Chain A
Amino acid sequence: MGDLGWIFISTLLINNFVLAYFLGLCPFLGVSGKLETSFRLGLATIFVMVITALCAWILNTYILIYAPYLRLISFIVVIASVVQLIEMAIKKLSPALFRALGIFLPLITTNCAILGLAIFATNKGYGLWQGLVYALGAGCGFTLAIVLMAGLREEVEMSNVPTMVKGIAFNLIVSGILSMAFMGFAGLFSAG
């Protein structure tokens, strides 16, 4: 249990996918303009990540031990199709949920944070529960980062950032400061 707790804290704060691993930067930089949207994108990401962890575990346990060379392709294909299936199911079962989250699903399925999650979880040799917690932590970490970023960006929208700086350059530097602030969590609960 302590192990699972640490996995969660570690991916949420210390090894945040966006701020420490540079994963999921396109949505992080591209969709963080509006708070509302960012939050929903975050939720959708958590969802897809958990599905991914599940798929990766199934693939790793039942298929890839026989054909390790298919890892990358099978991850991509399986994750994309499962998410697509779920998207269709959601659309049928709960149109409201679909409107809230569904539009983001295609955007996320092929991004590097999802693939990275599958690959890291595999490399770390996580079991089912560890993988799921890892995915949850990574997704929540992504949500935390993008929501903070969106808050900052909405605020900055109203202020007089020099035009030369505006845009990706500025967002990257803000991410850098945010990443620096998150360094404060390093070593959390491991000092012993």
Chain B
Amino acid sequence: MAKSEKQAYDEFIKGVWRENPVFVQVLGMCPMLAVTNSAINGVAMGMATFFVLMGSSFLVSLLKNLIPKQVRISCFIIIIATFVTVVDYVLLATLPGIHKELGAFIPLIVANCLILGRQEAFASRNTIRMALADALGMAAGFLFALVALGGIREILGEGKLFGISLFGDNFEPWVIMILPPGGFITLGLMLLFFNWLEEKKKKLDAQVAATEGSDL
């Protein structure tokens, strides 16, 4: 029991950090770049994706034995599209303001390769429990990335975070951050930062290995 709990936890952490869908696997970029010009939009998009991912992972792993191989992709897409439509309507009914901001990009969650990819690679081969842990991790990682990107763009672009002003009235907004080039460049630089961390870690590991080697 404890072991499987640990496993589930591992799956979760893997998605949030080690195999972060955006920063490490670079998946699901289109729907994310377009809407992440503020942290709150990032949260909204992240939550929408979260819901779709959890829902479809659950259904797919539940039905995995009933779906024949040949039509599995079609079935996955139908399942995903269903959840996306649900999210679309629910958002439209409950949070029309947010829905207006995210606009046409909500339906595009269907095309997010992250979701289909998880179904194909994980949910359709694992127990419901693990599938949910994996979905939770991936969705949380995606949410984290969206909020981080949206946050940076909002802080520089408007001097605010979640709508709260940070620098006072005299702040000069960095308009580009909210514009498309800002999205590209910020994500590029963030990936660069992750590469740099990775490189640094590798160097450190190599050093540690070297000193350990000499000790022996």
Contact flag (A, B; Cβ within 8 A): yes
Complex Cα–Cα for A44 and B112 (A): 21
CB distance from A170 to the nearest CB of B (A): 7
Whether A76 touches B185, Cβ cut-off 8 Å, given contacts A116-B104, A172-B191, is: no
Contact check, A69 vs B89: say whether CB atoms are below 8 A apart: yes
Whether A76 touches B195, Cβ cut-off 8 Å, given contacts A22-B34, A176-B181, A176-B184, is: no
Chain B residues with Cβ below 8 Å from A31 are: none
Cβ-Cβ contact count across A and B, 8 Å cutoff: 106
Interface size on B, residues (CB 8 A): 38
* Interface 9-residue window, one of A1-9, A90-98, A135-143, A161-169: A161-169
A72 on the interface (CB 8 Å rule)?
A: yes
Contact check, B104 vs A173: say whether CB atoms are below 8 A apart: no
* Residue in A closest to B176 when the chains form the complex, CB atoms: A180
Contact check, B77 vs A22: say whether CB atoms are below 8 A apart: no
Candidates B30, B78, B81; contact of A112 at CB < 8 Å: B30
Contact check, A115 vs B108: say whether CB atoms are below 8 A apart: yes
Contact check, A176 vs B188: say whether CB atoms are below 8 A apart: yes
* Residue in B closest to A118 when the chains form the complex, CB atoms: B107
A179 on the interface (CB 8 Å rule)?
A: yes
Q: Residues 106-129 of chain A: 1 if any B CB is under 8 Å from the residue's CB, otherwise 0?
A: 000011110110011001000000
Candidates B26, B30, B77, B89; contact of A76 at CB < 8 Å: B77
Contact check, B108 vs A119: say whether CB atoms are below 8 A apart: yes
Contact check, A115 vs B110: say whether CB atoms are below 8 A apart: yes
Q: Residues 31-45 of chain B: 1 if any A CB is under 8 Å from the residue's CB, otherwise 0?
A: 101100000000000
A158 on the interface (CB 8 Å rule)?
A: no
Question: Which one of A25, A29, A112 has the highest number of Cβ atoms from chain B below 10 Å of its Cβ?
Answer: A112
B84 on the interface (CB 8 Å rule)?
A: yes
Chain A residues with Cβ below 8 Å from B26 are: 168
Whether A179 touches B181, Cβ cut-off 8 Å, given contacts A73-B85, A110-B77, is: yes
Whether A26 touches B30, Cβ cut-off 8 Å, given contacts A76-B110, A164-B192, is: yes
Candidates B29, B108, B110, B189; contact of A173 at CB < 8 Å: B189
B98 on the interface (CB 8 Å rule)?
A: no
Complex Cα–Cα for A168 and B187 (A): 10
Complex Cα–Cα for A113 and B84 (A): 17
Candidates B85, B103, B176, B199; contact of A72 at CB < 8 Å: B85
B88 on the interface (CB 8 Å rule)?
A: yes
Contact check, B108 vs A168: say whether CB atoms are below 8 A apart: no
Question: Which one of B84, B89, B181 has the highest number of Cβ atoms from chain A below 10 Å of its Cβ?
Answer: B181
Contact check, A183 vs B179: say whether CB atoms are below 8 A apart: yes
B171 on the interface (CB 8 Å rule)?
A: no
Residues of chain B touching chain A, judged by Cβ–Cβ distance below 8 Å, are: 26, 29-31, 33-34, 77-78, 81-82, 84-85, 88-89, 103-104, 107-108, 110-113, 176, 179-185, 187-189, 191-192, 195-196, 199
